[in-house]
Amino acid sequence: MLTPMSHVPSRVLVTGAAGRLGRIVLRELAAHGTPAVGLDRLDPGDASTERFHTGEAADPELVRAGLSGVDTVIHLAAIPTPEHLPGAEVFVGNTAATFVVLDEAARAGVRRAVIASSFSITGLPFGPSSLRPAHVPIDEASPNQVADPYALSKQVDEATAAMIARRDGMTVAALRFPLLGWPNDPVLAEQAARYAEDPAAGVSHLWTYLDSRDAARACWLAATVPLTGSHPIFVTAPTTLAPYPTEELLDRYLAEVPRRAPLPGRSVPVDLTAARTLLGFTAEHKFPLEQL
Protein backbone atom coordinates (compact mmCIF):
# COMPACT_ATOMS: atom_id res chain seq x y z
CA MET A 1 0.00 0.00 0.00
CA LEU A 2 1.31 3.44 -0.94
CA THR A 3 1.94 5.84 1.92
CA PRO A 4 -0.22 8.98 1.66
CA MET A 5 1.74 12.07 0.75
CA SER A 6 1.28 15.63 1.96
CA HIS A 7 -0.39 17.92 -0.56
CA VAL A 8 1.03 21.39 -1.20
CA PRO A 9 -1.65 23.51 -2.94
CA SER A 10 -0.40 25.82 -5.66
CA ARG A 11 -3.75 27.57 -6.09
CA VAL A 12 -7.11 26.93 -4.39
CA LEU A 13 -10.63 27.48 -5.68
CA VAL A 14 -12.91 28.49 -2.79
CA THR A 15 -16.63 28.33 -3.50
CA GLY A 16 -18.88 30.27 -1.16
CA ALA A 17 -15.90 32.62 -0.84
CA ALA A 18 -18.06 35.60 0.15
CA GLY A 19 -19.78 33.69 2.96
CA ARG A 20 -19.14 33.77 6.70
CA LEU A 21 -16.68 30.88 6.59
CA GLY A 22 -15.42 31.54 3.06
CA ARG A 23 -13.92 34.89 4.01
CA ILE A 24 -12.06 33.34 6.95
CA VAL A 25 -10.78 30.54 4.72
CA LEU A 26 -9.40 33.14 2.29
CA ARG A 27 -7.51 34.72 5.19
CA GLU A 28 -6.16 31.32 6.19
CA LEU A 29 -4.91 30.67 2.66
CA ALA A 30 -3.32 34.12 2.52
CA ALA A 31 -1.55 33.44 5.82
CA HIS A 32 0.05 30.39 4.18
CA GLY A 33 0.98 32.34 1.06
CA THR A 34 -1.36 30.25 -1.09
CA PRO A 35 -3.10 31.97 -4.03
CA ALA A 36 -6.88 31.71 -4.03
CA VAL A 37 -9.64 31.96 -6.63
CA GLY A 38 -13.10 32.90 -5.33
CA LEU A 39 -16.52 31.84 -6.56
CA ASP A 40 -19.82 33.03 -5.12
CA ARG A 41 -23.08 34.69 -6.06
CA LEU A 42 -21.72 38.08 -4.97
CA ASP A 43 -18.20 39.44 -5.33
CA PRO A 44 -17.27 41.04 -1.97
CA GLY A 45 -14.39 42.92 -3.56
CA ASP A 46 -11.90 41.08 -1.36
CA ALA A 47 -8.31 41.67 -2.50
CA SER A 48 -7.26 38.30 -1.06
CA THR A 49 -8.27 36.47 -4.26
CA GLU A 50 -6.35 36.45 -7.54
CA ARG A 51 -9.65 36.51 -9.39
CA PHE A 52 -13.33 36.15 -8.53
CA HIS A 53 -16.06 34.37 -10.48
CA THR A 54 -19.60 35.55 -9.78
CA GLY A 55 -22.48 33.11 -10.14
CA GLU A 56 -23.75 29.71 -9.06
CA ALA A 57 -21.52 26.84 -7.99
CA ALA A 58 -23.91 24.54 -9.88
CA ASP A 59 -22.98 26.20 -13.19
CA PRO A 60 -20.48 23.86 -14.93
CA GLU A 61 -19.08 26.56 -17.22
CA LEU A 62 -18.48 28.97 -14.34
CA VAL A 63 -16.86 26.27 -12.22
CA ARG A 64 -14.72 25.21 -15.17
CA ALA A 65 -13.47 28.78 -15.52
CA GLY A 66 -12.79 28.99 -11.80
CA LEU A 67 -10.72 25.81 -11.92
CA SER A 68 -8.24 27.19 -14.43
CA GLY A 69 -4.77 26.87 -12.90
CA VAL A 70 -6.18 25.32 -9.71
CA ASP A 71 -5.05 22.07 -8.08
CA THR A 72 -7.14 22.16 -4.88
CA VAL A 73 -10.79 22.92 -4.10
CA ILE A 74 -12.48 24.03 -0.88
CA HIS A 75 -16.21 23.84 -1.57
CA LEU A 76 -18.25 25.83 0.94
CA ALA A 77 -21.11 27.13 -1.23
CA ALA A 78 -24.45 25.90 0.11
CA ILE A 79 -27.83 26.88 1.45
CA PRO A 80 -27.09 26.35 5.18
CA THR A 81 -30.56 25.60 6.54
CA PRO A 82 -33.89 24.11 5.45
CA GLU A 83 -35.83 26.78 7.34
CA HIS A 84 -36.19 29.63 4.84
CA LEU A 85 -36.49 28.17 1.34
CA PRO A 86 -38.57 25.39 -0.24
CA GLY A 87 -37.15 21.94 0.43
CA ALA A 88 -36.60 21.21 -3.25
CA GLU A 89 -34.51 24.37 -3.64
CA VAL A 90 -32.37 23.47 -0.64
CA PHE A 91 -31.81 19.87 -1.65
CA VAL A 92 -31.36 20.34 -5.38
CA GLY A 93 -29.25 23.48 -5.01
CA ASN A 94 -26.83 21.96 -2.53
CA THR A 95 -26.42 18.57 -4.16
CA ALA A 96 -26.14 19.97 -7.69
CA ALA A 97 -23.42 22.41 -6.62
CA THR A 98 -21.40 19.70 -4.88
CA PHE A 99 -21.67 17.32 -7.82
CA VAL A 100 -20.73 19.97 -10.37
CA VAL A 101 -17.77 21.28 -8.35
CA LEU A 102 -16.30 17.84 -7.63
CA ASP A 103 -17.03 16.41 -11.07
CA GLU A 104 -15.50 19.39 -12.88
CA ALA A 105 -12.56 19.39 -10.46
CA ALA A 106 -11.87 15.74 -11.22
CA ARG A 107 -12.04 16.39 -14.95
CA ALA A 108 -9.60 19.28 -14.48
CA GLY A 109 -7.10 16.99 -12.74
CA VAL A 110 -7.61 18.30 -9.20
CA ARG A 111 -6.36 15.71 -6.70
CA ARG A 112 -7.53 17.21 -3.39
CA ALA A 113 -10.87 18.66 -2.31
CA VAL A 114 -12.48 19.71 0.95
CA ILE A 115 -16.26 20.06 1.19
CA ALA A 116 -18.40 21.55 3.93
CA SER A 117 -20.62 18.85 5.33
CA SER A 118 -22.53 19.48 8.55
CA PHE A 119 -23.33 18.19 12.02
CA SER A 120 -26.88 18.34 10.68
CA ILE A 121 -26.22 15.14 8.71
CA THR A 122 -27.09 13.40 11.97
CA GLY A 123 -30.69 14.47 11.35
CA LEU A 124 -30.98 15.88 14.86
CA PRO A 125 -30.90 19.70 14.41
CA PHE A 126 -33.78 20.04 11.94
CA GLY A 127 -35.54 16.71 12.42
CA PRO A 128 -38.43 15.82 14.74
CA SER A 129 -37.78 16.77 18.36
CA SER A 130 -38.29 13.14 19.35
CA LEU A 131 -35.07 12.04 17.60
CA ARG A 132 -32.23 10.92 19.84
CA PRO A 133 -28.67 9.87 18.99
CA ALA A 134 -28.07 6.12 19.04
CA HIS A 135 -25.31 6.68 21.60
CA VAL A 136 -22.92 9.31 22.91
CA PRO A 137 -20.36 10.34 22.11
CA ILE A 138 -21.42 10.14 18.47
CA ASP A 139 -18.83 9.48 15.77
CA GLU A 140 -18.63 9.15 11.99
CA ALA A 141 -19.97 5.59 12.13
CA SER A 142 -23.04 6.54 14.18
CA PRO A 143 -26.32 6.05 12.30
CA ASN A 144 -27.76 9.20 10.76
CA GLN A 145 -31.48 9.90 11.09
CA VAL A 146 -32.05 12.22 8.16
CA ALA A 147 -35.53 13.76 8.19
CA ASP A 148 -35.16 17.12 6.41
CA PRO A 149 -33.94 18.30 2.99
CA TYR A 150 -30.80 20.00 4.29
CA ALA A 151 -29.56 16.91 6.15
CA LEU A 152 -30.44 14.83 3.10
CA SER A 153 -28.41 17.17 0.88
CA LYS A 154 -25.38 16.67 3.11
CA GLN A 155 -25.84 12.90 3.03
CA VAL A 156 -25.86 13.04 -0.77
CA ASP A 157 -22.87 15.42 -0.77
CA GLU A 158 -20.85 12.89 1.20
CA ALA A 159 -21.97 10.11 -1.14
CA THR A 160 -20.88 12.25 -4.08
CA ALA A 161 -17.48 12.75 -2.46
CA ALA A 162 -17.11 9.00 -1.99
CA MET A 163 -18.08 8.37 -5.62
CA ILE A 164 -15.54 10.90 -6.92
CA ALA A 165 -12.83 9.35 -4.74
CA ARG A 166 -13.59 5.87 -6.11
CA ARG A 167 -14.01 6.94 -9.71
CA ASP A 168 -11.21 9.46 -10.04
CA GLY A 169 -8.85 8.80 -7.15
CA MET A 170 -9.38 12.28 -5.73
CA THR A 171 -8.90 12.73 -1.99
CA VAL A 172 -11.97 14.39 -0.48
CA ALA A 173 -12.52 15.39 3.15
CA ALA A 174 -16.11 16.18 4.16
CA LEU A 175 -15.91 18.32 7.29
CA ARG A 176 -19.01 18.02 9.47
CA PHE A 177 -19.19 21.53 10.88
CA PRO A 178 -21.49 22.51 13.79
CA LEU A 179 -22.65 26.06 14.52
CA LEU A 180 -19.84 28.43 13.52
CA GLY A 181 -18.89 31.89 14.77
CA TRP A 182 -16.31 33.82 16.77
CA PRO A 183 -16.30 35.71 20.09
CA ASN A 184 -17.35 39.12 18.73
CA ASP A 185 -19.93 37.56 16.43
CA PRO A 186 -23.45 37.65 17.92
CA VAL A 187 -24.28 34.18 16.59
CA LEU A 188 -22.30 32.24 19.18
CA ALA A 189 -23.01 34.72 21.97
CA GLU A 190 -26.75 34.55 21.40
CA GLN A 191 -26.74 30.76 21.25
CA ALA A 192 -24.56 30.45 24.35
CA ALA A 193 -26.91 32.77 26.27
CA ARG A 194 -29.85 30.70 25.07
CA TYR A 195 -28.24 27.44 26.25
CA ALA A 196 -27.43 29.01 29.61
CA GLU A 197 -31.06 30.00 30.12
CA ASP A 198 -32.62 26.90 28.56
CA PRO A 199 -30.19 24.00 28.07
CA ALA A 200 -32.93 21.99 26.35
CA ALA A 201 -32.53 24.30 23.35
CA GLY A 202 -29.15 22.69 22.63
CA VAL A 203 -30.14 19.04 22.77
CA SER A 204 -30.61 18.66 19.01
CA HIS A 205 -27.13 20.11 18.41
CA LEU A 206 -25.57 18.30 21.39
CA TRP A 207 -24.50 21.81 22.43
CA THR A 208 -21.73 21.77 19.78
CA TYR A 209 -20.00 24.75 18.16
CA LEU A 210 -16.73 25.73 16.49
CA ASP A 211 -14.89 29.01 16.15
CA SER A 212 -14.71 29.96 12.46
CA ARG A 213 -10.95 30.45 12.73
CA ASP A 214 -10.62 26.81 13.75
CA ALA A 215 -12.98 25.79 10.95
CA ALA A 216 -10.74 27.57 8.44
CA ARG A 217 -7.68 25.86 9.88
CA ALA A 218 -9.44 22.50 9.59
CA CYS A 219 -10.04 23.27 5.90
CA TRP A 220 -6.34 24.00 5.43
CA LEU A 221 -5.30 20.80 7.18
CA ALA A 222 -7.81 18.74 5.18
CA ALA A 223 -6.35 20.23 2.00
CA THR A 224 -2.72 19.49 2.91
CA VAL A 225 -2.16 16.57 5.32
CA PRO A 226 -1.25 13.08 4.06
CA LEU A 227 -4.61 11.52 3.20
CA THR A 228 -6.23 9.33 0.56
CA GLY A 229 -9.82 8.40 -0.24
CA SER A 230 -12.99 10.04 1.04
CA HIS A 231 -13.48 10.83 4.71
CA PRO A 232 -16.38 12.37 6.64
CA ILE A 233 -14.95 14.06 9.73
CA PHE A 234 -16.65 15.74 12.69
CA VAL A 235 -14.84 18.95 13.64
CA THR A 236 -16.11 20.73 16.74
CA ALA A 237 -14.72 22.51 19.77
CA PRO A 238 -13.76 19.96 22.46
CA THR A 239 -16.15 21.59 24.94
CA THR A 240 -19.80 22.48 24.65
CA LEU A 241 -21.39 25.90 24.32
CA ALA A 242 -23.44 25.28 27.47
CA PRO A 243 -22.10 26.38 30.89
CA TYR A 244 -23.04 23.08 32.58
CA PRO A 245 -21.28 19.73 33.02
CA THR A 246 -22.03 17.48 30.07
CA GLU A 247 -22.91 14.47 32.21
CA GLU A 248 -25.55 16.56 33.99
CA LEU A 249 -27.00 17.67 30.65
CA LEU A 250 -27.14 14.07 29.47
CA ASP A 251 -28.71 12.90 32.75
CA ARG A 252 -31.41 15.51 32.38
CA TYR A 253 -32.17 15.46 28.65
CA LEU A 254 -30.74 12.25 27.15
CA ALA A 255 -30.82 9.82 30.05
CA GLU A 256 -32.08 6.99 27.82
CA VAL A 257 -29.17 7.30 25.36
CA PRO A 258 -26.33 4.78 25.92
CA ARG A 259 -22.96 6.28 26.88
CA ARG A 260 -19.86 4.72 25.39
CA ALA A 261 -17.31 6.79 27.28
CA PRO A 262 -17.11 9.20 30.21
CA LEU A 263 -17.62 12.88 29.33
CA PRO A 264 -15.99 14.85 32.13
CA GLY A 265 -16.51 18.56 32.62
CA ARG A 266 -18.00 20.23 29.57
CA SER A 267 -16.63 17.64 27.12
CA VAL A 268 -18.49 17.68 23.84
CA PRO A 269 -20.49 14.46 23.27
CA VAL A 270 -18.81 13.92 19.90
CA ASP A 271 -15.85 11.59 19.37
CA LEU A 272 -13.17 13.76 17.76
CA THR A 273 -10.67 10.95 17.17
CA ALA A 274 -10.94 11.17 13.37
CA ALA A 275 -10.19 14.91 13.40
CA ARG A 276 -7.11 14.31 15.55
CA THR A 277 -5.76 11.24 13.76
CA LEU A 278 -6.59 12.11 10.15
CA LEU A 279 -6.07 15.87 10.24
CA GLY A 280 -3.99 16.48 13.34
CA PHE A 281 -6.76 18.91 14.30
CA THR A 282 -7.80 20.10 17.74
CA ALA A 283 -9.73 23.35 18.09
CA GLU A 284 -7.69 26.16 19.66
CA HIS A 285 -10.36 28.80 20.26
CA LYS A 286 -12.92 28.29 23.01
CA PHE A 287 -15.90 30.58 23.40
CA PRO A 288 -15.49 32.70 26.60
CA LEU A 289 -18.65 31.72 28.48
CA GLU A 290 -17.51 33.83 31.42
CA GLN A 291 -18.29 36.94 29.34
CA LEU A 292 -22.00 36.16 29.28
- Residues 173-199 have pLDDT tens digits of 999 999 999 877 899 999 999 999 999
Whole-model pTM: value is 0.96
Q: Report pLDDT for 197.
A: 97
Q: Report pLDDT for 281.
A: 98
Domains in the chain: ranges and CATH: 12-182+211-238+269-291 (3.40.50.720)
Q: How far is CA 189 from CA 50, 211, 281, in A?
A: 34, 12, 24
- Residues 103-127 have pLDDT tens digits of 999 999 999 999 999 999 999 999 9
Does residue 87 surpass a pLDDT of 80? yes
The vertex-237 CA angle with 83 and 80, nearest 5°, equals: 20
In order, the DSSP letters of 13-37 are EEETTTSHHHHHHHHHHHHTT--EE
CB 222 within 8 A of CB 175: yes
Q: Report pLDDT for 292.
A: 60
Over residues 72-96, mean pLDDT: 96
Give the confidence band of 48 by pLDDT, cuts at 50, 70, 90.
confident
